[in-house]
Amino acid sequence: MPKLSDKLAFFTDSVIRRMTRIANLHGAVNLSQGFPDFDPPEALKEALATVAAGSIHQYAVTWGAPNFREALARKQTRFMGFEIDPETQVAVTCGSTEAMIATMLTICNPGDKVIVFSPFYENYTADTILSGALPIYVHLNPPHYNFDIQELEAAFQQHPKALILCNPSNPSGKVYTLAELEIIAGFAQKYDVFVITDEVYEHIVFEPNKHHYIASLPGMFERTISCSSLSKTYSITGWRLGYAIAPATIIDGIRKVHDFLTVGAAAPLQEAAVTALNFGDGYYTDLQQSYRDKRDFFLNGLDQLGLKYTAPQGAYYVMVDISEFGASNDVDFCEWMASEVGVAAVPGSSFFRDEVHHLVRFHFAKNKETLAQALKALANLRSMANDKVWNTKD
């Protein structure tokens, strides 16, 4: 048999999706993979039913159905604060996941370097490997996940092609301040580097924190590829609708790559999603409030259990410190917690470049009843963990 690609040796299957399988196996409350256990807005489900009964069932234009692009450009122009041309500056993709890999394949040659903040969303490792790029990691230091300016500049001095910016950030919940974005933008311009954003949580930010789009900063639109999706904003992670917004010459390249990766995002779903893209401001304020309630409810529960965590500023994850339990292997800890305690989380080590084994990530995009059930199970965590004899090499 011929050998498979060498690339496969450099990444494993998704730890996050593996934790979901383990949660299902043990019937644990699944706070690992970040997707809601509640339905999208009723109006969106109704729009889908209407579209399903109609006749939009064949390929859409490969880079996005015109009415979807128009609605998207209108909505993003409103939030990003600059005019976006749906004809030339938008590529519609199968989720932000595809937008990012298509972007990486468009801008990177094998051997190009790309700056990645650590901890990072696990897709970025696969994205760099698949596009032949080499990551330069810059630390976001827990518990506050700040970066060191000298370390960042040293990374820029290594002639990277691009920097990946996940804002609001998974897993840390960090929302970059305007001042931090200005520092990154300053280096990107000084060292002539692209910025690729992943802004799928753009509408899930907890006051007083505020989401700023780096593409909106002076001189940045030209060098920024803003990737995002409808997955989190409208609770439709299964619809696989995402996009990249960038200057026409870059979008031209992304459209070419995208055409051969997937041809296009599902036509009926694009059609139905126009309804969501036309929602008024009230939808977004209600979304923020509903996630704020979930966040406060879950963090309050963690407080009552005496667990230590970093309060997220945005997105719907919280990193919890498990040092007190004495397990030196967070993967074993998470597997044990799913099977014995009944709650699944993601081992923090899967997000860090360095050996970090004292954190686990929970997500709270769940109904209050589900969160309450998880907290009830977690009430036994300390006593069960203290009774457990952890393998010394764990």
Ligand X SMILES: Cc1ncc(COP(=O)(O)O)c(C=O)c1O
Instruction: List interacting residues with ligand X (CB under 6 A).
Output: 34, 95-97, 121, 166, 170, 198, 200, 229, 231, 237, 242
CA distance 86 to 279: 18
Say if residues 253 and 80 touch (Cβ distance below 8 Å): no
Closest approach of ligand X to the CB of residue 87, in Å: 23
CA distance 208 to 219: 26
Closest approach of ligand X to the CB of residue 390, in Å: 30
Closest approach of ligand X to the CB of residue 389, in Å: 35
User: Which residues are CB-neighbours of 318 under 8 A, at least 6 positions away?
Assistant: 173, 295, 298, 299, 302, 309, 310, 311, 312, 361, 362, 363, 364
Closest approach of ligand X to the CB of residue 105, in Å: 16
Which C-beta is closer to ligand X: that of 350 or that of 381?
A: 350
Which C-beta is closer to ligand X: that of 36 or that of 381?
A: 36
Closest approach of ligand X to the CB of residue 231, in Å: 3
Angle between helices 368-378 and 281-304 (to 10 degrees): 20
Is the backbone peptide bond immediately before 208 cis, with ω within 30 degrees of 0?
Answer: yes
- Closest residue to bound ligand X by CB: 95
Which C-beta is closer to ligand X: that of 35 or that of 284?
A: 35
- The residue written with tokens 């490969």 in the block is 62
Which C-beta is closer to ligand X: that of 166 or that of 217?
A: 166
Which C-beta is closer to ligand X: that of 89 or that of 97?
A: 97
Which C-beta is closer to ligand X: that of 125 or that of 341?
A: 125
Closest approach of ligand X to the CB of residue 197, in Å: 10
Which C-beta is closer to ligand X: that of 121 or that of 362?
A: 121
Which C-beta is closer to ligand X: that of 107 or that of 381?
A: 107
Closest approach of ligand X to the CB of residue 97, in Å: 3
User: Which residues are CB-neighbours of 216 under 8 A, at least 6 positions away?
Assistant: 80, 81, 82
CA distances from 364 to 190, 191, 226, 302, 344 (A): 39, 38, 25, 12, 12
- Cα dihedral: 371, 374, 380, 386 (round 10): -110
Closest approach of ligand X to the CB of residue 313, in Å: 14
Which C-beta is closer to ligand X: that of 118 or that of 231?
A: 231
Closest approach of ligand X to the CB of residue 2, in Å: 32
As a residue count, the chain comes to: 394
Which C-beta is closer to ligand X: that of 200 or that of 245?
A: 200
Closest approach of ligand X to the CB of residue 157, in Å: 27
